[in-house]
Amino acid sequence: MKKFRAAAVFLILLMPLFFFILMKEGKHNFRYLEYYGPKHLATNGVDTIYHTLTDFSLKNTEGNTVSLSNTDPSYWVFQFFNASCQEPCKEVFTNMYDVARDFATAPKVKLLSITTHPKNDSIPVLKQVMKMNSIHPPQWQLCTGDSLEIDSLMRTSFFLKGSTNAALNTVFLVDSKFHLRGIYDGADLLEMKRLKDDIKILSYETRQKSK
């Protein structure tokens, strides 16, 4: 009995050390998100320069300018759509709504849906799309703009071509440094769950790098 009590006391004393080691080692096993797009070494031959989104100047449904540079550091979720798109846009909007709902109290998480048909999708049309999909700014905004600028944004920043199903089906995660960090099938529930998890990972990654 005395040996049992001694062993129990010994284990209790060791538990804080065990948890300390576990927490310390756990940091090394943390999964950082990938960087998508081309990358190259900086002139110092050490640092990596990752693909960065080109800034843009779009208009939301209130007529206000939306751009990367005039927004506080945020985690962006991008989606391209047009009002005439039924499939897959309907499913993507439904899944985007779930993301917006789950991060409603996270002001750094911003969702941006950009029309690929700015000539057809006027502000009144976009407002109707907002109503149909329960979209509530400012966290989630619908935007329009110059057709050439939107086309350039799709091609150079997100590697998309035109209003194809792939373009309208894809959702992107962008970090506060404007790097592309995630690509998802917006119509797939499991893919969008992965997006939600990746937003949390990105938040943790940012905190770790700021220490």
Give pLDDT tens digits for 172-192: 999 999 999 999 999 999 999
- Confidence band of 30 (pLDDT split at 50, 70, 90): low
For 162: left if phi > 0, alpha if psi spans -120 to 50, otherwise beta; the answer is left
Q: What is the pLDDT of residue 53?
A: 96
CA angle, corner 182, sides to 207 and 118, nearest 5?
A: 115
pLDDT above 90 (res 42): no
CA gap 104, 92 in Å, rounded? 18
Residue 13 has pLDDT above 70, yes or no: no
Q: 6 and 50 share a domain?
A: no
Which tops the pLDDT comparison, 127 or 72?
A: 127
Answer yes or no: is pLDDT of 10 > 60.
no
Q: Answer yes or no: do 22 and 119 share one domain.
A: no
Identify whether residues 57 and 149 lie together within a single domain: yes
The DSSP H or E segment spanning 12 is helix 2-28
Order of strands across the sheet that contains 140-144: 65-66, 58-60, 140-144, 109-115, 75-81, 170-174, 180-185
**What total of structural domains would you count in the chain?**
2
Give residue 55's domain range: 39-209
pLDDT of 40 > 50? The answer is: yes
Same domain, 170 and 67: yes
